[in-house]
Amino acid sequence: MGARLVRALPFLIAAAAVIVPLPGMLAMGATAMEEGNVLVVADLFLDGRWPHGDVEYLYPPGNVWAVGTAFWALGPSVLVERLVGLAYRALLLWGLYRLARPWGRGTATVAALTAWVLLAPFGLFAYSWLCGLALLCAGTALVLDGGARRSTAVGAGLLGLAVFHQVVLGPAVLLVLGTEAWRTTRARRRRLATGLAGGLSPFLLHLVLVGPVALVEGVVVDPVFRLRSGRRLPLPPDPSESADMFARIDDLLSGPDPWPGLSRPAQVAAVFWLLLVVAVGLIVLPRLWRIPHRRRFTTLALIGIAIFPMVLQRPSPNHLKFVGGYVFAVAVVAVAVAFGRRLPLSRRHLAAPLALLAVVSLLFAVAPHHLGRFTVDAFTGRATTWSTPSITHAGRTLPVGDEAFVAELEALLAEVDARTEPGDSVFVGPVDLTRTNYSETFLYFLLPDLVPASRHLEMNPGLANRPGGPLADELADADVLVLTDRFDGWSEPNTSVQPGSPEPARVVADRFCEAWSSAYHVLLVPCDERSS
């Protein structure tokens, strides 16, 4: 009985660490543009409106297909979407555990826990990157362990699905499959190729549904060429000023930190450099520290390099956590091996927890606010938050987090209901349509009886406001506009501060009149309908 308990202890510890912050993660507000976009695009998917073809979407459609399928089975709701996000994170933890398993159960457990510690503050949003990373880790583990068994093909299939969720993971997938196919049997190569083809096959179906032009434009042209200059942040990060807009807002509103340390902008810069040094350093550690299972560890380290462009695109606190969750999990494996060699045999079981403590303590010391404060809050104060102020409309409930904002949204949605009929079109965007930097996409989800007037659900710089884009013509046919000035102060060191096409704003000025307004919102209807 004692031996069985010892074997189960790592699993019990990991399960407790996952369960503790779940209430707060489920109760977080769902007003972020990115989560609202997943909710509404997955909802539209059920009605036969395809990402890329009918609505703008900046990633491959895998996440929409997954959340949309869950909506079909269980009904559209924030809870269902977040349960899908929880499944993504569970798969990620399993994949990391399986990857680190050759170095011992304890080491595998703390590797998974390291990722969880960094990602828990982000909540349970079903984010495309996290699903792609989870599929990458799980698929890599099955490929590395599969040998000539069918699990090798399953692993290769998961790697293909990772690309179906995030194209940026393609280099990591090619790295894993390329190194495994280089020296192996012909039968195993066939399994790898068959599995990869199966994992990538949904692309073919999506190609048929939306057409090659829409697919290439949505997955490559829009995110890589049109959007990039409006979302790019300086490299390396400026240690004297936060570049990410939401980091700037957090700097102003979150108050003093309980722990001493670097300034908040300097913390972001320090985490960036630490992440870069660790990612590169992991390449040389297998030989330097004589880490067992050297080839496997080298593959894991190279994956960290292959996914690093996610940080280079936009070194914001969130992107650093997305990549750091994997890289620092692999680093914990190396540290646990090093500690295990230096501890006496009777204390060697302490190597893994000491490695976890060392790595997490280092991260908290480098970034006491962006990593320490947010993580501690996720596992303590916020973990006890079982509910939050929410709004319910048209049978859908969405956590908001602020009572005053809930009251304003209720008044806004009541006005929209009074001035529309089912099937009418609605547009949600900023008051200043020359600068389309952010939007309240969650409002579309709360208005399921109305049709989005534009294919631009998200407001992104260089896309919705680009010269020659479709937004002006779409607004000319809209029945009602919901505009907000909440994001008019958007300021980042990129082209998002530059005004785009004036045509959408000209259409609004010529055709629409104000029907209702509040502190943050204005409701516009066609001028000839205002009196009614």
pLDDT, tens digit, 9 for 90 and up, residues 223-259: 999 999 999 999 999 999 999 999 988 887 777 877 7
Whole-number pLDDT of residue 7: 67
Q: Cβ(356)–Cβ(332) under 8 Å? A: yes
> Is the pLDDT score of 113 beyond 80?
yes
Amino acid identity for residue 296 in this structure = R
Q: Is 474 inside a domain boundary?
A: yes
Number of domains making up the chain: 1
Q: Is 411 inside a domain boundary?
A: yes
Cα(31)–Cα(388) distance, integer angstroms: 12
Q: Is 261 inside a domain boundary?
A: no
**How confident is the model over 349-355, as a mean pLDDT?**
92
Cα→Cα distances 193→164, 173, 447, Å: 16, 12, 44
Locate 414 and state its tokens: 């009541």
> Is the pLDDT score of 524 beyond 80?
yes
- Pick from 92-96, 148-152, 156-160, 211-215: least confident: 148-152
Q: Cβ(215)–Cβ(52) under 8 Å? A: yes
pLDDT category, 530, cuts 50, 70, 90? low
For 55, list phi and psi in degrees, rounded to 5. Answer: -135, 150
pLDDT tens for each residue of 6-60:
667 777 888 888 899 999 999 999 999 999 999 999 999 999 999 999 999 999 9
**How confident is the model over 67-74, as a mean pLDDT?**
97
Cα(316)–Cα(267) distance, integer angstroms: 11
Locate 27 and state its tokens: 């109760």
Output 147 or 172, whichever has higher pLDDT: 172
Q: Which domain holds residue 498?
A: 390-529
% of the chain residues with pLDDT over 70: 98
**pTM, entire model:** 0.95
Average pLDDT along the chain: 93
Q: Is 122 inside a domain boundary?
A: no
DSSP-derived secondary structure for 304-342: HHHTTHHHHH---HHHHHHHHHHHHHHHHHHHHHHHHHH
pLDDT category, 349, cuts 50, 70, 90? confident
pLDDT tens for each residue of 136-147:
999 999 999 987
**How confident is the model over 271-279, as a mean pLDDT?**
97
Amino acid identity for residue 238 in this structure = D
Q: Is 483 inside a domain boundary?
A: yes
Alpha carbon 373 to its chain's center: 20
Q: Cβ(233)–Cβ(243) under 8 Å? A: yes
Q: Is 413 inside a domain boundary?
A: yes
Cα(488)–Cα(429) distance, integer angstroms: 11
Alpha carbon 315 to its chain's center: 14
> Is the pLDDT score of 5 beyond 70?
no
Q: Please give the span between the terminal C-alpha atoms of the chain, in angstroms, as a whole number.
A: 76
Q: Is 227 inside a domain boundary?
A: no
Number of alpha helices (DSSP H) and beta strands (DSSP E) in the chain: 23, 7
pLDDT category, 2, cuts 50, 70, 90? low
DSSP-based three-state secondary structure for 480: strand
Locate 339 and state its tokens: 């500690």
> Is the pLDDT score of 531 beyond 70?
no
**How confident is the model over 377-397, as a mean pLDDT?**
87
pLDDT category, 503, cuts 50, 70, 90? very high
> Is the pLDDT score of 374 beyond 80?
yes
pLDDT tens for each residue of 249-266:
888 777 787 778 899 999
**How confident is the model over 307-328, as a mean pLDDT?**
95
Whole-number pLDDT of residue 344: 87
Locate 155 and state its tokens: 């692993």
Whole-number pLDDT of residue 250: 86
Output 287 or 108, whichever has higher pLDDT: 108
pLDDT category, 290, cuts 50, 70, 90? confident
Nearest in space to 324 (alpha carbons), one of 383, 260, 286, 267 = 267
Q: Is 14 inside a domain boundary?
A: no
Cα(496)–Cα(487) distance, integer angstroms: 12
DSSP-based three-state secondary structure for 522: strand
> Is the pLDDT score of 436 beyond 70?
yes
